[in-house]
Structure 1
Amino acid sequence: MKDRRLRLIALLFVLLTTHAAISGQPSPTANTAASRQDVLKLFKVMHIHDQMRSVMNSMTKQQSALVHETMKKRYPQMPEERLEQFDAMMEEGIKDFPVDAIIDDLIPVYQKHLTRTDVSAMKVFYSSPTGQKLLREMPAMTEESMQLSYGRMQKQMDAMMERMQKMMKEEELNRKAPPKPPAKPDSQ
């Protein structure tokens, strides 16, 4: 009877320690890195290509406004045609923006940080009506956020430009100033 109880206790101990050891380790599938195909499927569900294009267009508009305002303040004599040329250059640059190459560059980053399980859960979310709504609204939310931050960015840019101009003036004055004679030692 005592022998049987010891065996039961030993068995219970083995089961509990085995369970603790197993439950303390993630399952192999949870640790499996997302494959390239997994990430590409997620990107497709998320409309990453379109999202990236939309963000780039929003950023271009914001940057253009920021550049226009800064240039008009710093160079009031600058003709509007010149600003339009800058805009055309920016638009041309955006057309040539390598979205597909950047998406390719993003895949290993996603693979490094997300497991197959993570990517699968994200695909489920972004396939849902709420996930699709978030994706549809994200460009507008991003653009509105950028517009809100534009005022702060402009103030920062103005302050930075003032500091740079002050520094340049000081350097110019230092270059024009005659060299100072060496200090004479005190004779005591």
Structure 2
Amino acid sequence: MKSYALALALMLASPLAALAAPPSDAQVSRLLEVMRARQTVETMLPQIEASQQQMVEQMMAGREITPAERERLNSVIARSSAQMRKSLAWDKLEPIYRDIYRDTFDGQDTDALIAFYASPTGQRLLDKMPALMQNTMSAMQKLVVPMMQELQKDIEAEARNDAVKRKSAGAETK
């Protein structure tokens, strides 16, 4: 009876342990390689910068700005781009990617993902991913820019209201 219970416990535990085994470092490395993770990140950076520039241009549309204001705006965009490139450099992202994949997928999942991304279909998906991301970012901008413009109007209205309140408070104390 004891051997039956032990055998049953081992049979039930073995598949669960096998399924729950985290991927090895080699599996995660291979997955990141076949997914072209580094190249994807490096390809996305210029697209993010272009989207950022386009969003700023859309927000400034219809406004007349002086050359000095344009220079300051370009300086802010350049600093933002430099900070983004520093923050999203592969040497900073790779450990994060590794942890995410290791925490999300087990070894069996990782092998299946490697098989998919190494396949012609997976490679075609990766080939089309930059265009997919660009199309997604463009679609999102159409949603975000009007919200940002509304936010900017709200902030300007609040600033005007505060200025009026300060003026009237100053007039009352005189």
Q: 1:128 aligns with which of 111, 119, 125?
A: 119
Matches within 5 A, 1:66-77: 66-73=55-62, 75-77=63-65
Matches of 1:65 and 1:166 in 2, distance apart? 25
Size of the aligned set, in residue pairs, is: 166
Q: Is the 8 A contact 2:21 2:106 kept in 1?
A: yes
Matches within 5 A, 1:41-60: 41-60=30-49
Matches within 5 A, 1:175-186: 175-178=166-169
| Structure 2 counterpart of 1:154 | 145
Q: CA deviation at 1:85?
A: 4.4
Q: Is the 8 A contact 2:19 2:106 kept in 1?
A: yes
Q: CA deviation at 1:103?
A: 1.2
Q: CA deviation at 1:117?
A: 0.7
User: TM-score w.r.t. structure 2 length?
Assistant: 0.79
| Structure 2 counterpart of 1:78 | 66
| SS state at 1:125 partner | helix
One-letter amino acid matched to 2:66: M
| Structure 1 counterpart of 2:158 | 167
Greater CA drift, 163-172 or 122-131: 163-172
- 5+ long unaligned stretches in structure 1: 1-9, 182-188
Q: CA deviation at 1:135?
A: 0.5
User: TM-score w.r.t. structure 1 length?
Assistant: 0.74
Q: Percent identity?
A: 20
One-letter amino acid matched to 1:76: E
Matches of 1:81 and 1:68 in 2, distance apart? 11
Matches of 1:94 and 1:152 in 2, distance apart? 22
Q: CA deviation at 1:71?
A: 3.1
Q: CA deviation at 1:60?
A: 1.0
Q: CA deviation at 1:136?
A: 0.6
Q: CA deviation at 1:99?
A: 1.6
Greater fraction of residues in helix = 2
Are residues 1:142 and 2:130 paired? Answer: no
| SS state at 1:76 partner | coil
| Structure 1 counterpart of 2:108 | 117
Matches of 1:161 and 1:106 in 2, distance apart? 35
Matches of 1:145 and 1:27 in 2, distance apart? 38
Alpha carbons of structure 1 residues 53 and 72: separation in structure 2 relative to 1, 3 Å: same
Greater CA drift, 122-131 or 29-38: 29-38
| SS state at 1:52 partner | helix
Q: Is the 8 A contact 1:42 1:122 kept in 2?
A: yes
One-letter amino acid matched to 1:129: P
Q: Is the 8 A contact 2:45 2:85 kept in 1?
A: no
Matches of 2:158 and 2:15 in 1, distance apart? 57
| SS state at 1:77 partner | coil
